[in-house]
Amino acid sequence: MSETYTLYNETVMDHFLNPRNMGDIKDADGVGEVGAAACGDIMKISLKIREGRIEDARFKTFGCGSAIASSSMATELIKGRTVQEAMGFTNQEVVTALGGLPPVKIHCSVLAEEALKAALEDYIKRHPEAAGKPDATIPA
């Protein structure tokens, strides 16, 4: 065999083999850990938030190639967004940015969205003043 065949597309394989933002954040401002009841995968996202904006995002994932790629891509996409912008984040962004996932693996991207939302909720719990207030960093 000289050619290489892959189960996932090039972008997904790249994010699986060379994951971005893998690891933890020391003194994170928000941490979310969620599990998928359907398959048993577990995803953890840690956020560093400064002045209402996500400065850094890191992940750790127990799961398949597409779960690792989804969390890698999700952390890439949300860095630099405000908390309020990030609250509107959907799994579809991950799927699109990855150039698509097999139908049976879409739930991996949902898990990434849930891990991010859980981390944001953790942040808001710790900083109740951040909730519901118009974000100063969003241009009017």
Partner 1 sequence: MTRVFLDHQSATPLLPEVFEEMKPYFMEAYGNPSSLHQHGLRVRDAMKKARARVAAFINAESEEEIFFTSDGTESANLAIKGVAYANERRGKHLVVSAIEHPSVMNSVEFLEKQGWTCARAPVDPQGRLRPEAIAEAITPQTTLIAVHHVNHDIGTIEPIAQIGRIAAEKGVPFYVDCEASAGWLPIDVQAMGANLVSFSPHRFYGPKGVGVLYRNRKARIVSILHGGVQEGGRRAGTENVPAIVGGGLAAEIAARELPRRVARTALLQRRLWEGLKARIPYIRLNGPEPGPERISTNLNLSTEFIEGEGQLLSLDISGVAVASGSSCVSKSLKISHVLAAIGLDHALAQGNIIMTLGQDNTEQEMDYVVETFAKIVTKLRAMSPMWEEFESGVIDSVISPTGRGKSFTDHAASISGKPAH
Which parts of this chain interact with partner 1 (CB under 8 A)?
A: 1, 7, 13, 16-17, 19, 22, 24, 33-44, 60-65, 67-68, 104, 107
What tokens does 13 get? 């394989």
Give the whole-angstrom CA distance, residue 99 versus residue 104.
15
Q: With respect to partner 1, which residue has the nearer C-beta, 68 or 116?
A: 68
Q: Least distance from C-beta 35 to partner 1, angstroms?
A: 3
Q: With respect to partner 1, which residue has the nearer C-beta, 52 or 59?
A: 59
Assess whether 108 carries a catalytic annotation. Answer: yes
Catalytic residue from among 13, 25, 39, 106: 39
Q: Least distance from C-beta 63 to partner 1, angstroms?
A: 5
Q: Least distance from C-beta 82 to partner 1, angstroms?
A: 26
Looking at the chain, the number of H-run helices and the number of E-run strands are 5, 3
Q: With respect to partner 1, which residue has the nearer C-beta, 35 or 100?
A: 35
Q: Calculate helix-pair angle for 106-126, 65-78, nearest 10 degrees.
A: 40
Give the whole-angstrom CA distance, residue 51 versus residue 61.
28
What tokens does 34 get? 């969620």
Assess whether 64 carries a catalytic annotation. Answer: no
What tokens does 122 get? 């953790």
List the catalytic residues. 39, 108
